[in-house]
Amino acid sequence: MKMRPLLTYASLSFATMTSMAQIADAGPDTTLCVDFYTMQGSPLPPGATGTWAIIAGCGSIMDMNDPLTLTVNLCVGTNVFIWTVNDNGQLDTDTLLITVFDASMANANAGMDQTIIEPQNYAFLNGTPTPLYPATCWWSWVLGFGAVTANDPNTPVVDMLVGDNILAWTCDNGPCGLTSDTVTIHMLMATGLSNADADGAPSMA
């Protein structure tokens, strides 16, 4: 008896492959120092359509149906877009996060050096700029000792040691750059100073 060829599994496999919808890919998340970006959405097969939409932040999409469209006027901060692919009625979506840093943010400046005299053992710092998210700035000790609030540009610094106390104000502005500046607080002993010097207000170096 002649055997019929078994084609059942091959036919089922082929049918499964051809019925799969196009997978949406909005491209890799990115960080920028500019307010524009060329999108990197997945290409569209024949008969499929794609649509960009913004769901958080801001931006102007030049062609909402082009996977490689230019988007301008992005906000500083996190901007969230969604790429939706419609492949013959079957939908798939993917999200894209574009994080924009402020290109106009000033370089770190730790403020003017200061001189204080015992028994005073505190001073107020004056770092600039105050960072705008997603940028961050912080104080760190280079020399000496004391207590500060690390992310406060105008923090008091207390419990310093006699001598030179040096702190750095560092700002991380992502792809726009990392800058740092130092301030020195000279803490003097009152011994041997005149009453006028010992009782006077802290002077600026």
Rounded to an integer, the average pLDDT of 108-133 is 96
- What is the reported pLDDT for 191? 76
Backbone angles phi, psi at 150, to 5 degrees: -60, -35
pTM given for the model? 0.79
Do 114 and 185 form a contact (C-beta atoms < 8 A)?
A: yes
List Cβ neighbours of 58 (8 Å cut-off, separation of 6 or more): 73, 74, 75, 79
**pLDDT tens-digit readout, 38-79:** 999 999 999 999 999 999 999 999 999 999 999 999 999 999
List Cβ neighbours of 17 (8 Å cut-off, separation of 6 or more): none
How far is the C-alpha of 28 from the C-alpha of 17, rounded, in Å?
A: 26
Q: How far is CA 109 from CA 136, 159, 168, in A?
A: 14, 23, 9
Backbone angles phi, psi at 104, to 5 degrees: -90, 0
Q: How far is CA 117 from CA 112, 187, 204, in A?
A: 17, 6, 12
Residue 136 has pLDDT above 90, yes or no: yes
Residue 98 CB-density burial (10 A; 0-12 exposed, 13-18 middle, 19+ buried) = buried
Rounded to an integer, the average pLDDT of 14-22 is 49
pLDDT tier at 13, thresholds 50, 70, 90: very low
Do 106 and 180 form a contact (C-beta atoms < 8 A)?
A: no
Do 81 and 52 form a contact (C-beta atoms < 8 A)?
A: yes
- What is the reported pLDDT for 21? 64
Give the CA angle between residues 176, 180, 183 to the nearest 5°: 155
